[in-house]
Amino acid sequence: MSKLDRVRSAARQFEIDGEFLEAQPFGSGHINDTYRVMFKSGGNSFFHILQKVNRNIFKNPDALMQNIQRVTAHLSAQIANDPDRDRRVLRLISTRNGNAWYVDEEGEYWRAYQYISGARTYDAVQTTEQAFQAARAFGRFQDLLASLPAPRLNDTIPDFHNTPKRFETLLAAISADTANRAALVKPEIEFALSHEPITSILQDANLPERVTHNDTKFNNVMLDDATGEGICVVDLDTVMPGLASHDFGDIVRTTTSPTAEDERDVSKVTMQFPMFEALVRGYLSSAGAFLTSGERKLLAFSGRLITFEIGIRFLTDHLSGDTYFKIHREGHNLDRCRTQFKLLESIEQQQDRMERLVDSLT
Ligand code: GN1
Ligand code: MG
């Protein structure tokens, strides 16, 4: 079966009226295969989102899908009175057999979501208002999920934000040097090794466990086309128990530089202070009520740590021969690593000022 046949056949398993017209790759995620599928019904065409879960990375897709079912149902109940509720939470489309996901003959896991129109994601931030909106939306997401009933969500990827462990994995990749690239990235390796002392700071801070998103990239929040409001948080695969600081840190990582994550000209990569200020203000506007003083104190540091963590994950993948993140060109993971390290330097230069701002606002 061709790839398109497989996508078409999976799409037809879901409760979607009409005739399948086409499927286009959608979004810029590095992990799953995401398509926007078009169906024709009653003379009109309609979009839906179809995704194939990456089983290489998500070892227990049933546990993952159970999380997503619980999380989307809870969010949906929380905003039941909002007239715009259909665009403010991802909604799974069930299969014709009434299941929340479909497993094909090859054991691949598929899910479908209702399409959210009049809103989009961006790979790079343009305005402080966008930054404010993104941070506010992720803070609200955490707030709405604070009341998720027991049991604890499944850990879809254990130790996902365990930075010391990510550091150990980097050391192992340097020693193994599977792709024979270590000698070519000496400056990046040295930069990474010199940061070992910061790796355990969040873990040692005794912060409360919460339900967190864990992948709060700027392009994982949809901004309304008309109003610019951050209306819907997407990419729920890593929603699981975690630290609020991981989420805020990844917002800082992805929403302060004017560049995309894989910008080749690192001279353009910089932590723009006004963006950081907008992020703190936006996040506090929705998460301020529940954050502990320990969490507030670490807001500025969290961006530094997560930028480092994702930077070493890209470096590790480059050294291991690009087995984890999708790449679209030679050296793609190295380019991504370099932007992270450049951003980290920029954050480090402004750390005191960032701390002072957080102090003044909390
Ligand atoms: C991956 O799926 P996507 O592209 O939103 C990754 C994140 C990284 C991010 C870096 C499950 O996110 O942890 O921060 O790439 N997701 C997983 O861009 O590993
Ligand atoms: Mg994503």
HEC sequence for 156-173: CCCCCCCHHHHHHHHHHH
Q: Residue 56: what pLDDT?
A: 96
- Residue 14 reports pLDDT greater than 90: yes
2-6, 154-158, 191-195: segment of lowest average pLDDT? 2-6
Binding site membership of 137 for ligand 1 (Cβ less than 6 Å): no
Cβ–Cβ under 8 Å, residues 346 and 271: yes
Note the ligand closest to the C-alpha atom of 221.
2
pTM over 0.95: yes
Residue 332 CA, ligand 1 centroid: distance in Å = 14
Binding site membership of 332 for ligand 1 (Cβ less than 6 Å): no
Binding site membership of 31 for ligand 1 (Cβ less than 6 Å): yes
**With the CA atoms of 308, 311, 317 and 320 taken in that order, what torsion angle do they form, in degrees rounded to the nearest 10?**
-70
Cβ–Cβ under 8 Å, residues 140 and 179: no
Three-class SS state of 103: strand
Bridge partners (DSSP) listed for residue 240 = 212
Binding site membership of 309 for ligand 1 (Cβ less than 6 Å): no
Nearest to 300 by CA among 218, 360, 258: 360
For residue 241, say if its preceding peptide bond is cis, omega within 30 degrees of 0.
no
Q: What is the mean pLDDT of residues 97-122?
A: 98
Alpha-carbon gap, residue 316 to 163, rounded angstroms:
13
For 23, phi and psi rounded to 5 degrees?
A: -135, 130
- What six digits make up the tokens of 360? 């003044």
Cβ–Cβ under 8 Å, residues 39 and 48: yes
Q: Which residue type occupies 263? A: E
pLDDT tens, 281-340? Answer: 999 999 999 999 999 999 999 999 999 999 999 999 999 999 999 999 999 999 999 999
Q: What is the mean pLDDT of residues 158-175?
A: 98
For 101, phi and psi rounded to 5 degrees?
A: -150, 165
pLDDT tens, 81-102? Answer: 999 999 999 999 999 999 999 9
Q: How large a percentage of the chain has pLDDT more than 70?
A: 100
**Four-residue CA torsion sign, 276, 273, 218, 230:** positive
Instruction: Count the residues in the chain.
Output: 362
Nearest to 218 by CA among 338, 343, 123: 123
Binding site membership of 262 for ligand 1 (Cβ less than 6 Å): no
- Choose which residue among 26, 31, 305, 318 to substitute to test ligand 1 binding: the one with the highest number of ligand atoms within 8 A of its C-beta: 31
Q: What is the mean pLDDT of residues 39-67?
A: 97
- Residue 1 reports pLDDT greater than 90: no
- Choose which residue among 154, 215, 222, 328 to substitute to test ligand 1 binding: the one with the highest number of ligand atoms within 8 A of its C-beta: 215
- Average pLDDT in the chain: 98
